[in-house]
Structure 1
């Protein structure tokens, strides 16, 4: 009887520990979810996609399933999602919106890409650079949008280089993978492309050298192979950039600063679409 009683006590102890073990410890042991836009490496066969459900309220300005993208100026786009989230990229405070964006992202290569005094009504301010030498690491769900970043190096004064000074921000919403290259100074390597994954919409700086030359930037664009490519930064050199792409790409100049896009409306052939006032 004694061994049976001991066994019963042992099983009861195991049940008690399992039932009352802190939930945070279980959460730490769960496998991390993976972005739906990232390529899944063969080394991680157990990885699973994460999905997000849009809230039921949809603003009248944006049709269901459509994302509205408006070029406000320079490298600042206003992204408006079906769930009512508004995001301003490379936000510097110069280009105002009717109401403060929900989220702003920034990069610090030049003052035209960030501000240290954003509107306090902005709920989420995401710096593309880290603090204390650490790279920025954003992994945020806001409403119907998942936001993450991939860091890259930037040039610094006197020919130097600052590690992880720029972030490529990626916005996953309505089934779309939308990427903003920020102030990209160097061509990407394989590790960057793996971290980025699929990009359906790509916002790319076109300036001939303040970021990268047209030839270098065109190689990045060609490797990413996005369906919709939106140039930004400055217009005078747009023709030099367009000349880098052959008949595999369509090119079009928009009559306005806004485009609405959904997973269903993506062009079957890559399209470089120059919004008004680039």
Structure 2
């Protein structure tokens, strides 16, 4: 066998990095809920993660860089920047200038918009490597247009046994149907600005209904706004301030008491 033919044979044995939006596996999160510009490295890679770990880096505003044990990188509310790397997947919850871009890097494999430009709800259920990503749509305020149905998406990431929800630009409390479609959330990334999304008291109601073990605040613009949100917790969540914007979380080490993890940057 020539060297060229041998190389071609080896390539046939290597599976593609991601699976397109084909038949997704059964959702563990839903089943449990319903049962009884910069220099860019060729590949984003810090220290290897264990099979049960997920790495989160707060890029700022409502953008997090999420990395799976299998090396899949995701940028939430991507507006064109993700810590200087090209992620494998980007999500854009709402068509707002700081939450999306019309010009994502063409090297990004999957661009998931939380709204449907053709009208009606956006529908996503993507298996990318060891990550499943799906969405649940919510409405947004539309100014003079009034309430706009399905203008925002809550994206749910199922990674390493964890169910992670990014609430995006949530403008209203959730209906029983929406809560059922979301399912169990272990970790929730929540906007706490209190004005552009929804009042902090209403957002606290949403968190009580979601019952996540870890809450990570975002989209708060000023430290004073975050402090007001924390003061409104009334001891319902422990508060853990981190000095570094990156944290590694695992289903094995979820806190016994629901905890607000504050990462630097806003």
Counterpart position of 1:187: 173
Residues 53 and 160 of structure 2 are in contact (CA less than 8 Å); yes or no, is this contact kept in structure 1? yes
The correspondence of residues 1-278 of structure 1 with structure 2, limited to 5 A, is 34-38=26-30, 39-40=33-34, 61-64=47-50, 65-93=52-80, 95-158=81-144, 160-234=146-220, 235=222, 236-278=224-266
Task: Report the Cα distance in structure 2 between the residues aligned to 1:96 and 1:196, rounded to whole angstroms.
Answer: 26
Task: Report the Cα distance in structure 1 between the residues aligned to 2:57 and 2:48, rounded to whole angstroms.
Answer: 12
Task: Report the Cα distance in structure 2 between the residues aligned to 1:68 and 1:143, rounded to whole angstroms.
Answer: 16
Distance 1:63 1:140, change over 3 A: same
Classify the secondary structure of the residue corresponding to 1:130: coil
Task: Report the Cα distance in structure 2 between the residues aligned to 1:185 and 1:60, rounded to whole angstroms.
Answer: 35
For residues 178-218 of structure 1, the C-alpha deviation after alignment (integer angstroms, 9 at most, x for no partner) is: 10000000111111110001100100001011100110000
**Alignment TM-score, normalising by the size of structure 1:** 0.79
Residues 62 and 81 of structure 1 are in contact (CA less than 8 Å); yes or no, is this contact kept in structure 2? no
Residues 204 and 230 of structure 1 are in contact (CA less than 8 Å); yes or no, is this contact kept in structure 2? yes
Structure 2 unpaired stretches of 5+ = 1-22, 37-44
1:134 deviates by: 1.9
Higher RCO structure, 1 or 2 (CA under 8 Å, sep 6+) = 2
1:41 deviates by: 6.0
Task: Report the Cα distance in structure 2 between the residues aligned to 1:174 and 1:106, rounded to whole angstroms.
Answer: 22
Residues 58 and 246 of structure 2 are in contact (CA less than 8 Å); yes or no, is this contact kept in structure 1? yes
For residues 87-124 of structure 1, the C-alpha deviation after alignment (integer angstroms, 9 at most, x for no partner) is: 0000001x333430000000234210000000111000
Moved more, 62-71 or 73-82: 62-71
> Which of these two proteins has the greater Rg computed from alpha carbons?
1
